[in-house]
Amino acid sequence: MDFLNKYTSQIIGITRIVAGLCFLEHGTQKVLGFPLAADAMPRAFDLMSRSGAAGVIELVAGALIVLGLFSRWAAFIASGEMAFAYFLAHFPRSPFPLLNGGDGAVLYCFIFLVLAAVGPGAFAINKK
């Protein structure tokens, strides 16, 4: 699809922004309790828990990825967090992502790994 070659930077930038916003949403849910699922009760935020640490990483890295500020480092850290999330929370249930609910973690892991390798694309605050 050679006709898309001239838009590579913009496509990478849009992918970075969309993936970052989705990742940020996971952080806001864990740290701020928003958006709250209809059947969920708000819980106290515990920074020292595994979920609390994940929430902080998702909140900070997600915001940096969206902005394109230190996005390679943020994406690399987010990718590692998602690898840990998959193997600690999902893999023990089943080795198959479809059955263990870990398909999102796998996709985030590799999307962020690609962004760490290729850079933020267009629309980034710093383009390194």
Predicted local confidence at residue 45, as pLDDT: 63
End-to-end CA distance of the chain: 26
pLDDT digits (tens, 9 = 90+) for 102-124: 999 999 999 999 999 999 999 99
Q: Contact, 52 vs 45, CB < 8 A?
A: yes
pLDDT digits (tens, 9 = 90+) for 21-40: 999 999 998 888 888 765 56
Predicted TM-score (pTM) of the model is 0.91
| Closest listed residue to residue 33, CA positions, set 24, 20, 48, 43 | 43
